[in-house]
Structures are given as structure tokens and as C-alpha cells.
Homo-oligomer: A and B are copies of this chain.
Amino acid sequence: MARETITLRRLAEVLGLSQTTVSRALNGFPEVNEATRARVIEAAQRLNYRPSASAASLATGKARTIGHVVTLGDHMMINPHFTDFVAGAGEVYARFGYEMLLRITGSEGEQDVYRDLISRRRVDGVVVHGPKTRDPRIPFLRKLGIPFVVHGRCEEDPASYSWIDVNNRRAFMRACNFLIDLGHRRIGLINGIETMNFADRRRQGYEAALAARGIDLDTSIMFSADMIEPHGYRAAAQMLSSRKPPTAVLVSSILPAIGVMRALAERELRPATDLSIIVFDDCLSFLQPGNEAVSGAIPFFTAMRSSMRLAGRRVAELLIEQIEGQHSAPKHELWEAELVIGHTTGPCAPAESQVPVRVKPFRRYS
């Protein structure tokens, strides 16, 4: 098993053919006799021949590898949603014969990481994770002239590059409207860090919905921080202990939402009856397995859903298209999140609501 690795040259010798022919036979070129091709393939399999990746990429100039640069946040952690995304992207790479290169980096020097990856010709393209509202990486990558696709997008010139994003603004607007329809007037926001474009847009949606119904903003019930459990806990604890706690809250991820639950439990309060909670959950597979939705069971959290895994798949597909295809125009996809009703939302308790409650039957928003 540990016998010397077999090279193209050896294989050609064994077969009594030239390297050219063997190479072409294996790579499916038409100008080789089908009989010889069969012989070659058989021998390659028998001798367990695998072309050297570095030799091939040196010769072709293609690395057949895609780079993912993930930045550690304030808490030096990788966004857990990332695993789902990567799983989706991985499927696609496997299908097309690409490798996935992962670089973990602190927030400084991200650009150097990209530059390094690219100028050493380690990757044919990169995917950009977690774009900020104004993100220097994008003009930088454009200038480098390398294929890339953004998961999310930036404020500036989004038409000039490919991206896939969820309509975060709309999702939060809708969720907020849903709460208002339930009679809530005092609605808190537990958002992610608002330099991130997605969080910024979520806030916009929240603000727009309130404004449209003539509800004033109250910054004392608006929070913004890393999307982790303790943040949700602290924010909820602070709101619930205030003289005028909200009756509902919009939470940016299921992680802080779990913290909200903890704060409620501590006070012997209950979701839906004491505090309505809507969470943007991105279908975190390890908390909310997709099959639950399929099987028809009612999920616990009322949530805006959008599959991270699907996003990973689609981003990978776009990127490969861009790498392999002729220079096509940038593509964009804006996905709508689905509002799924769970057990954490309910009508505003009459005592607290300033207007008559219009209870709507639970239903599944498109």
C-alpha cells in the first residue's frame, strides 16, 4: 500500500503509450481511440493512479480550490451558522471536483489573507462571508480581478459583483408587522452587530414597520451585539426588569433567543403569554432540524427562516459558474425568509395594549 506513488509517466510506460495519450484518455479528450481509452482507464484503476494535484494545477494554472476566509468576531468565535453554510457549499464542491480551503483570521489583515491566497495561486476564487455595510474587501477583490461571490452584500455598488442575500429588511418588517397585528405596541429588538450589513438592514426593517404604524422608536429596548446566548439573556433581563417592559421582542438569531428564554424562566415568565418572541433562525440544523418543519410538527420558536445550507450551495454554484464560464454578468439573488409560526408568539395581553386586540388565526406566511 505504501508502494511508491505511480505517476503519469510510469502509467504510460506500463501501457506502452505516450503521456499525451494517457493524459487525454483520462481527461476525456475526443481524439483517442475508445479501445485505448478503455485500456488506459482500466490500468489507471488497477494501479491506483491519481494525478498529482500540484502538478496539474501548475500545468493548467487552475487550483480547483475555493477559498473561504472566516473572520473571528469579537468573541474570537466562528459564527455557528457557518457550519451549515459550509456543509452546503461542500456538497457542491464535491460534485464539481473542487476543494475547499479554509482560512481563519482575526479581523486585522483580512485583505492580506485574500491577497496571499490569490497571488500564490492557491485558489481560483473566494467566497466573502459576513460583509460589513461598507466593506473594503469588495473593492479590493474587484481590483484583484479574481472571481468571488458574497454571502450577503454591501451597500456600495451591489450590482457590480455576485451575491446571494436574504431580504433581511423585509423579513424584520414582516415579523414586526405580525407582532403589531397581534396587538403589540412595545416591541424590543435584540440585533446582531450593526456594522454587519445584515444586522443593519434588519434594524431598518424593524424601524420601518414601527414608523409605518406610527409607533415611536425607543432605543432603551433596542440592543445590538454579537449573536450569542449571553447577549440575549442580558438584553432580555434588562428589558424585563425595566419599569415598562416590552410585550414582544424581535431576536436576530436563535442563540440570543435561548438567552431570552433563560431570562424569562428566571422570572417565571412564559413565552407567548408574557413575552412574544420572533427569531431569525437561519434554520440552524442542530437546533431546529429541517425535518421538523417538513414533518408538520409545530416548531418551538416563531421564526423567520432561511436555509443557510441552501445559501452555501447556491453561493458555491455561482462561484464555480463564474470561474469556469465565460465572463458573464454578476448575478444576484435576494431570498425571502419564511415566517413560520411557533409557540412563542401570542396576542398582546389586553391590559398592556393601547388598542383593541385583533387576534389573527395562526397561519403560515408564504
Which residues of A are interface residues toward B (Cβ below 8 A)?
Answer: 1-2, 5, 48, 50-55, 57-58, 63, 65, 72, 75-80, 82-84, 86-87, 90-91, 93-94, 99-105, 116, 119-122, 143-145, 227-230, 255, 258, 261-262, 264-265, 270, 285-289, 291-292, 300
Contact = CB atoms under 8 A, between A and B. Distances in A.
Contact of A119 (B50, B86, B87, B99): B50
Nearest to A104: B90
A5 B52 contact: no
A173 to B, nearest CB: 27
A58 B50 contact: no
Given A78-B84, A265-B270, 4 more contacts: A54-B63, A72-B87, A80-B83, A80-B286
A229 B80 CA distance: 15
B50 A120 contact: yes
Contacts of A103: 90, 94, 99-100
A334 to B, nearest CB: 26
A230 B54 CA distance: 45
B55 A286 contact: no
A119 B84 contact: no
A243 to B, nearest CB: 25
A52 B58 contact: yes
- Which residue of A54, A57, A144 has the most chain B CB atoms within 10 A of its CB atom? A54
A77 B84 contact: yes
A311 to B, nearest CB: 15
A51 B77 CA distance: 31
Contact of A86 (B93, B102, B120): B102
B285 A229 contact: no
Contacts of A91: 104
A227 B100 CA distance: 26
Contacts of A105: 94
Contacts of A76: 87, 285
Nearest to A343: B266
A164 B86 CA distance: 25
Given A83-B78, A261-B261, A120 B285 contact: no
Contacts of A120: 50-53
Contact of A83 (B57, B83, B255, B300): B83
Given A99-B103, A103-B100, A120-B52, A83 B77 contact: yes
Contacts of A78: 83-84, 86-87, 285
Contacts of A229: 286-288
A264 B78 CA distance: 30
A75 B122 contact: no
A287 B77 CA distance: 10
Contacts of A270: 265
A75 B143 contact: no
19 contacts: A52-B121, A53-B122, A54-B63, A72-B87, A75-B289, A76-B87, A77-B87, A77-B286, A77-B289, A78-B84, A78-B86, A79-B286, A80-B286, A94-B103, A227-B286, A228-B286, A228-B289, A229-B288, A230-B289
Contacts of A100: 101-104
B292 A230 contact: yes
